[in-house]
Amino acid sequence: MDHVLPYVWFGLSILSAFWGCVFLALSQHRHLRAVLGERQAKRITRPLGWLLVLSSLLFCILRDGVNFAALTWPLSMALASFLVAMVLAYKPGWLSPVAVKAERCDKLCGD
C-alpha cells in the first residue's frame, strides 16, 4: 500500500488543482457567461477555488516534501489550467452542472 500512496497524493493534487481552476474561472463574469449565459458570478466560487488550489499544494507537499513540491505543484497547476482553458474554449457547457451547483450553494449561504 505504501507504493500506491504517492500516486494517490499526486492524483488528488491534480484533481484539486483542476477543480480550483474551474471555480476560479467561474468566478469571472465572462467565463460564467460562456457557461450559463447572463448571470452574476457567485461569491462562493472564488474562495472555494483558492482553497482547492492551496489544497493542491498541500497534496504535493505531502507526496514529495517541500523541495520537490516546488517543482511538481507548478506543473500540476499548469496542466490543470491548460485543461480548464481547453474546456472553456471548446466545450463550456460541460461546466454548467458545476456552475449551477455553485449557484445553489451560494443561495444556501445567504446574502
What pLDDT does 87 receive? Answer: 93
Q: Which grid cell is 77?
A: 497547476
Say what angle helices 96-109 and 45-90 make with each other, to 10 degrees. 160
What pLDDT does 111 receive? Answer: 52
Residue that the C-alpha cell 497547476 belongs to: 77
Q: What is the pTM of this model?
A: 0.87
Segments of the chain with pLDDT less than 50: none
Other beta carbons less than 10 A from residue 67's beta carbon? 8
The DSSP code for 3 is: T
Residue that the C-alpha cell 481547453 belongs to: 86
